[in-house]
Homo-oligomer: A and B are copies of this chain.
Amino acid sequence: MSSLVRTKRDLDMPLLTSKQLTNVSMGLLKAAGASEEEAEIVTRFLVKANLAGVDSHGVLPNLIPYIRGLREGVIKPGARFEITKETLSTALINGNWGFGQLICYKAMQLAIDKARKTGIAAVAVYNCNHVGRMADYTQMAVENDMIGFICVNSDPGVAPYQGRKRVLSTNPLSYGIPAGKEKPIIVDFATSVGAEGKVRAALYEGQQLPPGWIVDSQGRPSTNPADLYDPPLPPEQIKLAGAILPMGGPEKGYKGYGLGLAVEILGGALTGTGCSYQVTPGSTNGVYINVVKIDQFVPLQEFKDRVDWLIRTIKNSPKAEGFSEILIPGEPEFREEEKRSRSGIMIPDMTWKTLVDTCKEYGLDAQKLISS
């Protein structure tokens, strides 16, 4: 496509192929100390988020903090993936503060291997940095004809129902479910009204939030994303900041709060990571993974036929007013991935400039990385 031919002017607001974005991310991570394997897995998942249209979990808002993490010793390259407790069906993992993506990738792989033997597996992870997008890991289970579940806690940003101060994390979870001829079902959401990354995106883009998303530091409802962070605070004073509200709104917020609390405890207490203010502020994720081998219960083809039938039944059912189709969880991301694989990934000006500058700091030429 002609829009992918680079000129100097293009670089001001580039449209990159996933290959080009991969080259930049790989190059920068390796220059900053990551191994080939670390750079490859981290980049794969970041670029995949960009392709899927989940830019909040993509290269741009995340790569620079990772580089900073390497520089400050928060992310430890070459960290050992250490199994500290194990049965045939379970494992507890000390991530030793390596890259979250690589730890979580290996943890999911271990869960899949264990589930293959006993039909079900649970793996819990502590001392783990930011793992990124939940859907990437449950898709690994799906590719192995298994049902995958993952959830993580992190430092607090969400108020409990009936409360107004951040005590819980956004506590996201994902289910990955294989289908037959249809695309798999990938459920992936924060148990808060929205992910913190979306509030940050609104802040950067100068947008207001929809009502019901956040309260300010005084507990007053707000649509200004700055109220979640304002006044700018050092991590130890984070209790003073605003809060995101639990999913479900003023009437049904107890559902999002209850589910979030379960995730907080699976990710925080069961892994030994700690819950709420016990979590090391920054990018810590306590990870809980659960994998189910389908044909330990029912024949795989029967299961897939049922899921296909359900997907078609849903999609063929009458639409609500204002909607021309009913989407299956994961479908918007699969579509965007196909689209961006063809059209490229648009990178906002300012964030691209930061990336080019960071490359320079490591003696790298972003333009050269792109065309390599």
Interface stretch (choices A18-26, A65-73, A119-127) = A119-127
Q: When the two chains form their complex, are residues A278 and B249 in contact, meaning their CB atoms are under 8 A apart?
A: no
- Residue in B89, B188, B219, B268 whose CB lies within 8 Å of A119: B89
Determine how close the nearest CB of chain B comes to the CB of A294; give it in whole angstroms: 7
- Residue in B161, B269, B277 whose CB lies within 8 Å of A298: B269
**A161-B320 Cα distance, complex, nearest whole Å:** 8
Q: When the two chains form their complex, are residues A318 and B163 in contact, meaning their CB atoms are under 8 A apart?
A: yes
A314 near B: Cβ within 8 Å? Answer: yes
A332's nearest neighbour on chain B, judged by CB, is B254
**A131-B163 Cα distance, complex, nearest whole Å:** 33
User: Using an 8 Å CB-CB cutoff, how does the interface string of A266-310 with B read, 1 for contact, 0 for none?
Assistant: 101111101111100000000000101010111000110011011
A165 near B: Cβ within 8 Å? Answer: yes
Q: When the two chains form their complex, are residues B122 and A165 in contact, meaning their CB atoms are under 8 A apart?
A: no
Interface stretch (choices A322-330, A341-349, A352-360) = A322-330
Residues of chain B lying within 8 A (CB to CB) of residue A328: 261
- Residue in B88, B167, B177 whose CB lies within 8 Å of A314: B167
- Residue in B118, B162, B185 whose CB lies within 8 Å of A323: B162
Determine how close the nearest CB of chain B comes to the CB of A196; give it in whole angstroms: 16
**A270-B119 Cα distance, complex, nearest whole Å:** 12
A225 near B: Cβ within 8 Å? Answer: no
**A161-B161 Cα distance, complex, nearest whole Å:** 23
Residues of chain B lying within 8 A (CB to CB) of residue A205: none
Q: When the two chains form their complex, are residues A326 and B160 in contact, meaning their CB atoms are under 8 A apart?
A: yes
**A277-B87 Cα distance, complex, nearest whole Å:** 40
A147 near B: Cβ within 8 Å? Answer: yes
A313 near B: Cβ within 8 Å? Answer: yes
Q: When the two chains form their complex, are residues A329 and B162 in contact, meaning their CB atoms are under 8 A apart?
A: no
**A20-B313 Cα distance, complex, nearest whole Å:** 47
Residues of chain B lying within 8 A (CB to CB) of residue A275: 306-307, 309-310
Q: When the two chains form their complex, are residues A318 and B189 in contact, meaning their CB atoms are under 8 A apart?
A: no
Q: When the two chains form their complex, are residues A147 and B266 in contact, meaning their CB atoms are under 8 A apart?
A: yes
**A314-B193 Cα distance, complex, nearest whole Å:** 18
A45 near B: Cβ within 8 Å? Answer: no
Q: When the two chains form their complex, are residues B87 and A296 in contact, meaning their CB atoms are under 8 A apart?
A: yes
Determine how close the nearest CB of chain B comes to the CB of A364; give it in whole angstroms: 40
- Residue in B85, B147, B276, B321 whose CB lies within 8 Å of A313: B276
**A189-B255 Cα distance, complex, nearest whole Å:** 7
**A254-B159 Cα distance, complex, nearest whole Å:** 21
A136 near B: Cβ within 8 Å? Answer: no
Q: When the two chains form their complex, are residues B147 and A118 in contact, meaning their CB atoms are under 8 A apart?
A: no
Given known contacts A119-B87, A159-B320, is B252 in contact with A303 (CB within 8 Å)? no
Residues of chain B lying within 8 A (CB to CB) of residue A249: 248-249, 252
Known: A88-B89, A268-B306. 11 other contacts (CB 8 A): A87-B118, A89-B120, A90-B120, A147-B265, A164-B320, A175-B258, A187-B258, A189-B254, A247-B248, A269-B306, A278-B306
Q: List 11 A-B contacts (CB under 8 A).
A: A89-B120, A90-B118, A92-B298, A124-B297, A163-B317, A164-B318, A164-B319, A168-B314, A187-B259, A265-B306, A269-B298
Which A residues have a C-beta under 8 Å from some C-beta of B?
85, 87-90, 92, 118-122, 124, 147, 159-165, 167-168, 175, 177, 185, 187-189, 193, 210, 212, 215, 219, 247-249, 251-252, 254-259, 261-262, 264-266, 268-272, 274-278, 290, 292, 294, 296-298, 302-303, 306-307, 309-310, 313-314, 317-321, 323, 325-329
